[in-house]
């Protein structure tokens, strides 16, 4: 299948490049996400049989200062992509986030639960979801959480850097979610596209996150243990670590609907082992 993928250097895009190197990957120098019409033209002028949007404005705190720009990239661009994919009658996957919810309670969020973003980033991603649905094509919106990999900037790499410098770290313990390896998301996208191309009835919104659910503090402990670091983790409340954007306390996602694609929740602990091993190899070189 000929795939067109928006994104090239992001965490998920890099894992997709490993899985499907024959796909066409569009970096921001190829197509500016701030120009939705260019995104649409990229699909309309291609011979792609499916498209995946693995690109986004992911700087959560920066979105608070420039919500308009974040909205163009996270909302207007994916809507244009989805409309173009619908016009070409090809399936489209759009990656979204748990930030579309308000993070209250302790129950895992279901796909049809009420959405109520806490900040600019979540609002921009929610508008993107609405735009993709309104395009009227064959699509999957895949909400995920706490993405990590050996690439780019993410919690695992930050903890490894800080853990190698300090004996003790304060880490938020009252935010709970499912860490999700970019490699697992990429594999899920390919499985979903394969099914969606044959069965458009699977169109809809799905959740995909690693298991078991965990706090950031306990995730940090797992990272240090796996990396052989003796850094002590001190649990702190969110109120002790203020950020420009509010983070959801409850990022748990109910992933039962993924059974439509035969996809189980991945165990992030196994994926973390792979990421740590890859980073160790990189450090050796």
> Which residues are the active-site residues?
121
- The Cα diameter of the chain in Å comes to 56
For residue 215 the two structure tokens come to: 């706090």
Q: How far apart are CA 281 and CA 285, in angstroms?
A: 7
Show the CA angle centred on residue 27, arms to residues 121 and 1, nearest 5°.
105
Residue 98's nearest CA partner among 63, 53, 129 is 129
For residue 5 the two structure tokens come to: 């993928």
């Amino acid at each position: 299948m000929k795939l067109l993928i928006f994104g090239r250097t992001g965490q998920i895009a890099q894992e997709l490049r490993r899985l499907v190197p024959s796909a066409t990957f569009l970096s921001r120098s190829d197509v500016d996400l701030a120009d939705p019409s260019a995104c649409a033209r990229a699909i309309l002028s291609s011979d792609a049989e499916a498209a995946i949007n693995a690109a986004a404005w992911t700087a959560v705190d920066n979105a608070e200062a420039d919500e308009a720009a974040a909205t163009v990239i996270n909302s207007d661009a994916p809507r244009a992509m989805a409309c173009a994919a619908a016009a070409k009658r090809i399936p489209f996957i759009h990656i979204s986030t748990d930030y579309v919810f308000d993070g209250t309670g302790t129950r895992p969020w279901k796909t049809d639960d009420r959405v109520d973003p806490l900040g600019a980033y979540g609002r921009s991603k929610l508008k993107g979801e609405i735009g993709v649905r309104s395009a009227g094509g064959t699509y999957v919106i895949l909400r995920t959480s706490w993405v990590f990999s050996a690439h780019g900037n993410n919690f695992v790499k930050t903890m490894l850097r800080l853990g190698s410098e300090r004996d003790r770290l304060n880490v938020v313990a009252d935010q709970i979610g499912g860490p999700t390896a970019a490699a697992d998301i990429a594999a899920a996208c390919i499985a979903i596209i394969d099914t969606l191309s044959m069965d458009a009835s699977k169109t809809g919104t799905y959740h995909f996150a690693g298991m078991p659910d965990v706090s950031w503090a306990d995730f940090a402990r797992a990272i240090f243990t796996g990396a052989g670091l003796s850094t002590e983790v001190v649990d702190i409340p969110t109120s002790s670590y203020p950020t420009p954007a509010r983070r959801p306390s409850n990022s748990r996602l109910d992933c039962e609907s993924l059974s439509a694609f035969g996809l189980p929740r991945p165990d992030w602990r196994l994926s973390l082992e792979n990421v740590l091993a890859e980073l160790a190899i990189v450090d050796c070189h």
